Amino acid sequence: MLNPMQKILHILLALSMAAGLLPASAWAGGGSLLPVVPEAQDRFSETQGCVEPTDEMRRNHMEHILHQRDETVYRGIRTKQYSLEQCINCHVSDTPDAPRYSSEEHFCNSCHTYAAVRIDCFQCHADRPVKSSNPQTLSGQMKSDMQPSALSAMPHQALATEVISHE
């Protein structure tokens, strides 16, 4: 429990942050409100973490995913660079206890909670990499395609060249 003095201090801090008087990082000590974003499993290339520079991904990932969505559904284009499946394969752990989207520990939700964004992607789409508990549904080539390990095993260069042709 906070005593009244602490409460007032917190309110003042919050107000000054909202007014831009203090950088958000000043608040980021213990009990931070800033999202704790889980680390990705892999890097896109030596120089770049994600499929676009991080700033671009933070602001515009939804545009990339939306564009890819229509390309895939209507035109059958299945490149991996902007595919939601690959986002999940890389950003969510493939262990059985991996967080679901409903948890704030889930990569997507960690930030969406902070930004007060509600999405419905995961009402239909898998919010975790394909589970090893369901291997009999996947056979042959598709299986190796979809295992997250396939992504990590793939040389970065190969992934990069494959997807650039889509530009």
Partner 1 sequence: MSDSANIDTYRRRFLGGTATALAGLSVAPGVFLHEVARARPADEAVTSDVRWGMLIDTNKCANGCNDCVTACNEEHGLTGHGRPETDAQWIRKVELRDKQTGHTQSLPLLCQHCEHPPCVDVCPTGASFKRADGIVLVDKHICIGCRYCMMACPYKARSFIHEDLQDQLPHAPRGKGTVESCTFCVHRVDNDRTPACVEACTAENHNAMVFGDINDPDSDISKQLKQHSSRQIRADLDLNTGVRYRGI
Distance CA 8, CA 18 (A): 15
User: Contact with partner 1 (CB under 8 A): which of 4, 20, 158, 165?
Assistant: 165
**Size of site (CB under 8 A) for partner 1:** 31
* Choice between 58 and 67, CB closer to partner 1: 67
User: Residues 4, 20, 140, 155: which binds partner 1 (CB under 8 A)?
Assistant: 140
Window of 4-12, 14-22, 107-115, 136-144 that interacts with partner 1 by CB under 8 A? 136-144
Instruction: Choose which of 22, 57, 146, 154 interacts with partner 1 (CB under 8 A).
Output: 146
Q: Is 156 exposed, middle or buried (0-12, 13-18, 19+ CB in 10 A)?
A: middle
Would you give the binding string for partner 1 spanning residues 96-115, x where CB under 8 A is met?
A: --------------------
Query: Measured at the alpha carbon of residue 96, what is the angle toward residues 51 and 46, in degrees to the nearest 5?
Result: 25
Residue 151's nearest CA partner among 93, 64, 103 is 93
Say how many Å lie between the first and final Cα of the chain, rounded.
Answer: 54
Q: Which of residues 58-87 bind partner 1 (CB under 8 A)?
A: 69, 71, 73-80, 85
